[in-house]
Amino acid sequence: MSTLVFLEHHGGELQKGSLGVLTKAASLGDADAVLVGGGVTALAAEAGTYGAKKVHVADDASLDPPLPQARVDVIAKVVADGGYDTVLFANSVLAADIAAGLAARLDAGLNWDLVDLTSDFIGKRPALGDSVLVDVGWRSTPRLGLFRAGSFDAAPTGGGAPEVVQAAVELEEHSRAATIVDQQLEEASGPSIEDADVIVAGGRGLGAPENFTLAEELARALGGAVGATRAVVDAGWYPYSAQIGQTGKTVSPKLYVALGISGAIQHKVGMQSSSVIVAINKDANAPIFEFSDLGVVGDVHEIVPKLTELVNQRKGS
Amino acid sequence: MKIAVCVKHVPEGHGRIDPGSKRLDRSGEGALNHFDANAVEEALRLKGDGDGEVVVVSMGPEKAADSLRKALAMGADRAVLVSDAAAEGSDLVATSKVLAGALAREEADLVLFGQQAEDADGAVLWAAVAERMRRPVVSQAAEVTVTGDTVRVKRQTEFGYDVIETSLPAIVAVSDAINEPRYPSLKGIMGAKKKPFETLTLADTGVDAADAGEAGSKTEVLALGNPPARGDARKIDGDANAAQAIVDFLAEKRLV
């Protein structure tokens, strides 16, 4: 087995999700990695820590914008030249587009939304709102797999410095057409929700932007970070950097507390792999209760202040 | 400007997987994938009062005509359905080939997709179609503007927004945050019946039967199982004791 893992980077750091997939790949056999961008060579060494034997690096200013198609060109050549039979990705807006482009380029099967992979190449994919766990396979190589974010923890394997090899940068015409003309990156304040063990998230059910203090105070008591649904971010109640869901961040904390969140699919995909989910919502029929470990049908404005007080008391005792 | 919109007909309500074929059961009632309604709406908005054309394209069973008619009722001008038994059970590799074949006939300036299929949770098809058509692609579009032969897209990512420009022809997948799709008016529904509706076979798309359906697919469903249980899901009333009950639960899980 020879597996290649796509390493995504942002702000000069390798993304935890792709390091998690690398950790998993290294546990199944020999794993190499591919890193594509501008000024990324220095990041290659860290991949060795997570199990990469070799890191293919395409470091070129033309690859600096995080766009998928140029990455398809680079990775397709690495896969062909290196004879890789498996290529794995941690899901993200960028990685999903690369994986699908690569599938078409190589006529290779892509299974997505995977949460696990066995050593004999059976992928595990929850389907139909996670009511079914489907075993999926590949009929040919290379096999492409896109994992749900948060599927695997990134864990150092004790590996040494990887061999770093330069990957060729030969871009197709259609891959050079798109350019990024402006970027508005939002920096999170407070603890990063991707790294937090506890997340308290608020939705429309909080009623008003100022009621996010309920979420903030409970998060402080539990030592966690604050998240938000797309509905409230779109409404301007809370910054985009806190948005959890399909078009925001994907998180898998030990504890997820959902306040006034209905649990629409857009939100669910971003938090469903949390270990324990507690939901408080007035609507007894809210979908969030279908995937909560503890569901409380009630008013967040009454319950949350009391809950925060009790948690603080417990900490104090 | 000519805009093509790819849409999917998905089973209504909670889907079920047929244990025999291990495929999604598509025998019941279906509806227009609601994420695709955002793409139809955006196409209609971009066309505006201009003399462009909006053509909706789908691949699916004959019943998928219902979803195309809904898009026509919303205001699309023309519909194309690729319906062929040999295309049933197509995975990403096969579906992208068939759709690219159908789209190649249209030579649209802009091809739009919705952000995901609500039945299979797929959110990648556009990138595979773009690769086959060798066209630039941008996904997660929260805003789309077209000026001359350039499309400008505000792409929402995990980190904020990127403003991306590319030349036409291009492929764009829109986010469901981009607009509120209109409901078809009664006049629209009546008018939809008279709009051009073309049904294509696989051969019309130029794709061999060996490259479509199960035969052309590179992935397969091996088995269906039950997901690991979430444990004992509990639901309680939010009465005066609720806060204490939550703390007790968290203590039991060693989370406080």
Residue A193 has pLDDT above 90, yes or no: no
Would you say residue B207 lies in a domain?
yes
Verify whether the Cβ–Cβ distance B242 to A94 is below 8 Å. no
**Of the listed ranges A184-188, B81-85, B177-181, the one predicted with least confidence:** A184-188
In a domain, residue B99? The reply is yes
Q: Could you tell me which chain B residue has the CA closest to the CA of A72?
A: B131
Interface contact B201, partner A, CB < 8 A: no
Measure the CA dihedral A288/A291/A294/A299, to 10°. Answer: 0
Domains and CATH numbers, chain A: 2-175 (3.40.50.620), 198-316 (3.40.50.1220)
> Does B242 fall in a domain?
no
Give the per-residue pLDDT at B224. 86
Radius of gyration over every alpha carbon of chain A, rounded to an integer in angstroms: 21
Question: In this complex, do B170 and A177 lie within 8 Å of one another by their Cβ atoms?
Answer: yes
One-letter amino acid at B59 equals M
| Beta bridge partner(s), residue A257 | A200, A278
Query: Terminal CA-to-CA distance of chain B, rounded, Å?
Result: 59
Give CA–CA dist B170/B127, Å, rounded: 11
**DSSP assignment string, chain A:** -EEEEEEPEETTEE-HHHHHHHHHHHHHSEEEEEEEESS-GGGHHHHHHTTEEEEEEEE-GGG-S--HHHHHHHHHHHHHHHT-SEEEEE--HHHHHHHHHHHHHHT--EEEEE-EE-TTS-EEEEETTTTEEEEEEESSSSEEEEEPTTSS--------PPEEEEPP----GGGSS-EEEEEEE----SS-TTT-SEEEEE-GGG-SGGGHHHHHHHHHHHT-EEEE-HHHHHTTSS-GGGBBSTTSB----SEEEEES----HHHHHHHTT-SEEEEEES-TT-GGGGG-SEEEES-HHHHHHHHHHHHHHHHH-
Q: Is B209 on the interface with A (CB under 8 A)?
A: no
- E-only strand ranges, B175-245: 197-200, 219-225, 234-237
A86 to chain B, any CB pair closer than 8 A? The answer is no
| Residue B246: inside a domain | no
> B-chain residues within 8 Å CB-CB of A240?
160
Q: Which residues of A touch B230 (CB under 8 A)?
A: 277, 291-293
* Mutation site, A128, A233, A250, A254, interface B, largest B CB count within 10 A: A128
Interchain contact, A112 vs B14, CB within 8 Å: no
Q: Report the alpha-carbon distance of residue B172 to residue B43 in Å, rounded.
A: 11
Complex prediction ipTM: 0.91
B128 contacts A104 by C-beta, under 8 angstroms = yes
Is any Cβ of chain B less than 8 angstroms from the Cβ of A141? no
The C-alpha of B186 sits at a distance from chain A's nearest C-alpha, in angstroms, of 30
Q: Is A66 on the interface with B (CB under 8 A)?
A: yes
Who among B132, B222, B246 is closest to A278 (CB)?
A: B246
Q: Which residues of B touch A67 (CB under 8 A)?
A: 164
Q: For residue B225, with 0-12 CB atoms within 10 Å meaning exposed, 13-18 middle and 19 or more buried, which class applies?
A: exposed
pLDDT value at residue A126: 85
| A196 and chain B in contact, CB less than 8 A | no
Q: Phi and psi for A253 in degrees, rounded to 5?
A: -75, 170
pLDDT class for A248, splitting at 50, 70, 90? confident
Task: Check residue B3 and give its pLDDT.
Answer: 98
State how far residue A163 is from chain B, nearest Cα, in angstroms: 30
Q: Both tokens of residue B167?
A: 């030349």
Residue B81, SS3? strand
Q: What is the widest separation between alpha-carbon atoms in chain A?
A: 66
Query: In sequence order, which ranges of B48-109 are alpha helices (DSSP H)?
Result: 65-74, 92-106
pLDDT at A247: 75
Lowest mean pLDDT among B158-162, B168-172, B229-233: B229-233
Chain A residues in contact with B233 by the CB 8 A cut-off are: 289-295
Q: Is the Cβ of A235 closer than 8 Å to some Cβ of chain B?
A: no
B237: contact with A, CB 8 A cutoff: yes
A-chain residue closest to B156, CA distance: A247
> Cβ contact (<8 Å) for A101 and B130?
yes
Q: Which tokens in the block code for residue B82?
A: 């690729």
pLDDT in tens, A11-64: 999 998 999 999 999 999 999 999 999 999 999 999 999 999 999 999 999 999
Does some domain include residue B223?
A: no
| B228 occurs within a structural domain | no
Beta strand pairing status for B170-174 and B160-167? unpaired
Of A282, A304, A307, the CB nearest to B247: A307
Tokens of B207: 């794709």
Contact of A120 with chain B, judged by CB distance below 8 Å, is answered with: no
Quick check: A179 contacting B, CB < 8 Å?
yes
- By CB atoms closer than 10 A (0-12, 13-18, 19+), residue B246 is buried
Q: Per the confidence metrics, is the pTM higher than 0.80? A: yes
Taking only the tens place, the pLDDT of each residue in A87-140 is: 999 999 999 999 999 999 999 999 999 999 999 999 999 887 677 889 999 999
Nearest to B163 among A100, A181, A249 (CB): A181
User: Quick check: A315 contacting B, CB < 8 Å?
Assistant: yes
Residue of B nearest to A187 (CA): B159
Q: Which residues contact B80 (CB under 8 A, 6 or more apart)?
A: B55, B56, B57, B58, B68, B102, B105, B106, B198, B199, B200
Amino acid B232: pLDDT = 66
In a domain, B92, yes or no: yes
The range of the structural domain enclosing residue B166 comes to 2-211
Alpha-carbon separation of residue A89 from A5, A96, A111, B198 (angstroms): 6, 8, 10, 38
| CA closest to B212 among chain A residues | A107
* CB atoms near residue A23 (< 10 Å): 21
CB-based contact B160 A186, cutoff 8 Å:
yes
Which amino acid, A118? T
Residue A189 clears pLDDT 60, i.e. is over it: no
**In this structure, how many other beta carbons lie within 10 angstroms of the beta carbon of residue A53?**
16
Q: B220 lies in a domain?
A: no
Among B121, B153, B154, B241, the residue to mutate for chain A (most A Cβ within 10 A): B121
Longest dimension (CA), chain B: 67
User: Residue B160 belongs to what H/E stretch?
Assistant: strand B160-167
B92 contacts chain A (CB < 8 A): yes
Query: What is the domain-level CATH number for residue B87?
Result: 3.40.50.620
Number of structural domains, chain B? 1
Instruction: Specify the pLDDT at position B158.
Output: 83
Mean pLDDT of B25-48: 92
Nearest to B219 among A111, A278, A303 (CB): A111
Record: contact A307-B243, CB cut-off 8 A? yes
A198 CB neighbours in chain B (<8 A) are 255
- Give the model confidence (pLDDT) of A271-307 as tens digits: 988 999 999 999 999 989 988 999 999 999 999 999 9
